[in-house]
Amino acid sequence: MAEETIEKEQKSKIVPLSDQNLAVCKNYCGTCPSHEQCGQSEFLFCSVGASHNNDTITQRGCNCPECDVWMNYGLSQMYFCIHGEA
């Protein structure tokens, strides 16, 4: 099965949607305990907003605080996949 990428635009005024931030995010999102599809086709929710299936995500832990993007931009929220961009 081919990987399908969901095209999204930057919504955040804090976190840029850049290749560098995407690469960093992919290291953390892929092991998300809450969003089972995270790391397969969706990334960088702190920049692009909530997941297209955010209503099916159950909060079971959030990797965002361990991510360098989260730290580099001084973010304090979690569960961007559910609640949307920073």
> What is the pTM assigned to this prediction?
0.83
Q: How confident is the model at residue 39 (pLDDT cuts 50, 70, 90)?
A: low
Q: Are 55 and 85 in contact (CB under 8 A)?
A: no
- Residues 62-81: what's their mean pLDDT? 94
Structure tokens at 11: 């919504």
Residue 2 banded pLDDT, cuts 50, 70, 90: very low
Residues 6+ apart with CB under 8 A from 2: none
Total residues belonging to the chain? 86
